[in-house]
Amino acid sequence: MLKFFISLALVFTGVLVSQDQSPDDILFLKIQELEEEIAFLRSELESQAYLLEKLQNENLDNAEKSSSNDNDSQVFRFEGINDDETIDELYQKGINSLNLNELDAAEGAFLKLVENYSDEEKLPLSLFWLGEISLISLKYENSKDYFLSLVSQFPDHWRSPLAHKKIGDVYLSQGLNDEAKEKYQYVANSYPENTAASLALQILENME
């Protein structure tokens, strides 16, 4: 639109020039035309610069948001895992397999969780179930190692008292009665209010 008015001004100037105007008047009009053209170009450049800066800022904001989203996803996806299963999904898979008495599938799920994830609740629980599965499968040393990992890494976890008692069960299954008694007594003394202590005391009474 502005170019149209400039063109119209040039035509109008041509009409004026066709009339008897002095050279000074013509020069003055030409200078005015040039100043208007320069002002228009300057406005165009400033507008383009503003749009370019705005576009760059938008691209930067989008890149920062993308990076932020990537960081957020890492809260739920732990390094070292290459599939789409989350901790909860993997743990539930192990529990479902246990309910179906599919011990190999359950062991695989819990082992995958233990080896690839770090979670204050699901990791000790997975160690506990791995210990249980190994105990059922008569893999006593494996069972003891899993329970020992639980009680050493997560001594305050609510499953730790029962894990200590399970270590006593492993010793008892191996015929190591003295070691079993010592562990049961430890559970009874250390966790007197826990159900694991009651179970340990019952076994101790039966061993007398």
Residue 163: predicted pLDDT: 97
Q: Which fold has domain 116-207?
A: 1.25.40
Domain assignments of the chain as residue spans, ordered by start:
2-14+22-75, 116-207
Cα–Cα distance between 162 and 186 in angstroms, integer? Answer: 12
Written as tens digits, the pLDDT of the chain (208 aa) is: 434 344 434 444 443 444 455 655 556 555 656 655 665 555 555 555 555 565 556 555 555 554 444 444 333 334 444 344 688 999 999 999 999 999 999 999 999 999 998 889 999 999 999 999 999 999 999 999 999 999 999 999 999 999 999 999 999 999 999 999 999 999 999 999 999 999 999 999 999 8
* CA-angle at 128, arms to 88 and 107, nearest 5°: 65
Say if residues 162 and 188 touch (Cβ distance below 8 Å).
no
Say if residues 144 and 167 touch (Cβ distance below 8 Å).
yes
Residue 208: predicted pLDDT: 82
Cα–Cα distance between 200 and 172 in angstroms, integer? Answer: 12
Residue whose tokens read 């479902």: 96
Cα–Cα distance between 102 and 143 in angstroms, integer? Answer: 17
Closest CA to 170 of 140, 136, 203: 140
Using a CB cutoff of 8 Å and minimum separation of 24, what contacts does 189-196 make?
190/161, 190/164, 191/161, 191/164, 194/161, 194/162, 195/161, 195/162, 196/161, 196/162, 196/164, 196/165
Inter-CA distances, 32 with 19, 132, 205, Å: 18, 94, 113
| CB half-sphere exposure, 143, CA atoms < 13 A | 21
Say how many C-beta atoms besides its own lie within 10 A of residue 110's C-beta. Answer: 29
Which string of b and e fits 134-168 if b means at least 16 CB within 10 Å? Answer: bbeeebbebbbbbbbbbbeebeebebbbbbbbbbb
3-class state of residue 154 by DSSP = coil
Q: pTM here?
A: 0.60
